[in-house]
Each structure stands twice: as structure tokens, then as C-alpha cells.
Structure 1
Amino acid sequence: MIRKDVQKTQDGVSIDFSGAIAKETVFTMVQNCAEGKCECMSDETKQKVTDMVVSGEDGSVNLELKGEITQEEIEEALKRSKVISS
């Protein structure tokens, strides 16, 4: 099972993934988003994201999203993600 903890930060939104999550999976999700291959975020939300940074290791991965985005927008996007499903 993958656990997701989404928090609003000063610069955007931070997502802590834990449990059965590989760092490579999060990289894949970020790459798909950057290339416009995913449909989890609306075009409006995608345009608000200015940077995405992945850190951590398998089992404990952090994704920092920078931009004028809300915690709710990212929580909704995670629910629709085909790469990160729990």
C-alpha cells in the first residue's frame, strides 16, 4: 500500500509517499506530467507548476511541487493518477 501525505508549503505543495513506493515510480509520474502524458492534473493546474523535485529513497519518497497550486488540486490529481494508485 502507498501512503500519501500532502502538505501546503510556502512555495507550493509537498507530497510524502511512504510504504510500497519506488523512487523510480515517482520519477516516472513527474516525467509523464512534464511531457504532458498524464491526465491527472487539469491544464490550468499544470500551468501553475513551476518546478518538481523528487528526493528520498524507495519506501520514503518526497515530491516538492513549486508554484501557485493548492493542496486540494494536488490531492485530486493524485486520486486520478494511473502511476500512483493505492
Structure 2
Amino acid sequence: MAILTVKKLDNTLSELAVNHKKPEKILIGYKAYAELMDDRKFFDEVAGSAMDPSKRKYKNIKIKVTQDDYQLEIKCSKE
């Protein structure tokens, strides 16, 4: 079973929006990223966002894949 799902990621992003925080970057561990890429909706949006894997986005938020297995950290802009 996946540790991180697209639904969990979407819920986290929704909570930030409710708290009036604007996400700038999503830091995702490489194993969590691989599990998310198994979800067709996530794959279509991320793979279609840019030809270069280092410039991919999800919901117009930059994605940075990290060396930590299952990291999920969302960096928000300072307002």
C-alpha cells in the first residue's frame, strides 16, 4: 500500500489554501514520487507539465525530488 497518495497530497494542498498559504515548491522523496507516478491523474499532469524532468509541476507548483525515501515537504512563500 502506498504511503503517500495523490489524495493525501491534494488534501495537504487544500489545507494550506484554507490557511491562506501559497505553496511554492513540493519536496518529494524519490520512493514517494515513484508511487505517485503510478496514479494516472498525477502522472498525466506532471509528465505533461514539462519535457525536462527537473522542471515538472503539479497544480502549478514546482516539484523537487529528493534523496529521502518518503519525504513530503511543502515550501510556502513568505507573505
TM-score by length of 1: 0.29
Give the number of the structure whose residues are more often strand, by fraction. Answer: 1
TM-score by length of 2: 0.30
* Higher percent of residues as helix: 2
